[in-house]
Amino acid sequence: MGELLAPLLADRLRAKRQSFDRIPLVDIAALVDGGDARPVAREIRWALTNVGFLYIRNHGIPPALIDAAYQASRSFFALPIEVKNALHIRHSGHSLRGYIPLFGENTDPGKTRDLKECFDLGPETPGRDQPFFGANQWPGGLPGFAETLMQYHDALAALSHVLLRGVALSLDLAPDYFAAKMRDPISVLRLIHYPPQSGRIDEEMIGIGAHTDYGNLTILAQDQVGGLQVLNRDQVWVEAPPIDGTFVLNIGDLVQRMTNDLYLANLHRVVNISGRERYSMPFFVEADTEAVFAPLPQCVSDSNPPRYASVRCGAHMFARYKDSFPHLQDV
């Protein structure tokens, strides 16, 4: 790749640089270790009510496993394009696993083309003819690739159950409230590579356009390059810089629906003006395909009537995917 020109960022893409306490940092050790999690739950409630995002530390995922997953990701995206295209997500049918090339998904399609490439994987359930379940598409020639990423996937899946206990406590629900919705949940580990941009950058093409996540929770590992921006309630884009030893946690549409807009599934985007390659690894944990989400009774009142009808997780997820993936438009 030749020398990159210094990027000229359009005004609408500039984030207001603020200290990270605008996106709260929460120590979740008590949740992970089984201690008194009520103080953690109070911090989670404030963060999800006001921001929709938080950093979490002391999450219990070994740094060596995170580093190994990053190395696997870089190795995959370094493969020749014809090798990656042979694993295109369109070859996976309903399971929606595999490679997504540049502009193969556009999360804000009316405004933005996403300058990113991805690789999606999930739990191995071969022969299951149902959206988001099935067999993964694995590349050849990368020893340990599948084993490392499945180990990382499974570690985050276990962490997600811990975090959902914290969300339940934050809503004064029983700690195991989400367990009945999470017996066989949809989950996706996504590897993302964002090429650097140069020249004038505007909303027509950025790393990923403004969007909310679709399901329950997203647990994000981001490298040291930065570029994640979150929209606050004052309609100001706020940077979410990398912090060593943390994940970024945010909620998706289903939790906002469940809380009748008490909790915020916030708009966010990525603008990579670093001049370097950016890698991130979001883990999306949703719920069982038939799990129903509707406003909780304690989030409804005469002054705040129900704002949403009930929805089933799988149908909601697939509808959102159809909006973003060109190859699903005729499905």
Residue ranges for the chain with pLDDT beneath 70: 1-21, 329-331
Half-sphere exposure of 315 (CA within 13 A, CB side): 7
Token look-up 């020749």 returns: 80
pLDDT at 19: 33
Would you list the DSSP string of 39-99? HHHHHHHHHHHHTSEEEEE-----HHHHHHHHHHHHHHHTS-HHHHHTTBGGGGGGG--EE
DSSP letter at 184 equals S
Question: pLDDT tens digit string along 149-181?
Answer: 999 999 999 999 999 999 999 999 999 999 999
For residues 59 and 171, what is the distance between their CA atoms, to the nearest angstrom?
21
For residues 321 and 180, what is the distance between their CA atoms, to the nearest angstrom?
24
pLDDT at 12: 65
pLDDT at 13: 66
* CA separation, residue 198 to residues 99, 111, 242, 296 (Å): 25, 19, 22, 47
* CA separation, residue 63 to residues 19, 58, 69, 134 (Å): 25, 11, 10, 29
For residues 140 and 73, what is the distance between their CA atoms, to the nearest angstrom?
14
pLDDT at 304: 87
Element (DSSP H or E) covering residue 249: strand 246-251
Half-sphere exposure of 56 (CA within 13 A, CB side): 32
Contact 245, 147 (CB under 8 A): no
pLDDT at 330: 65
Q: Which amino acid is at 193?
A: H
pLDDT at 327: 72
DSSP letter at 299 equals G
Q: Could you give the domains of the chain?
A: 8-328 (2.60.120.330)
- Does this model's pTM top 0.95? My answer is no
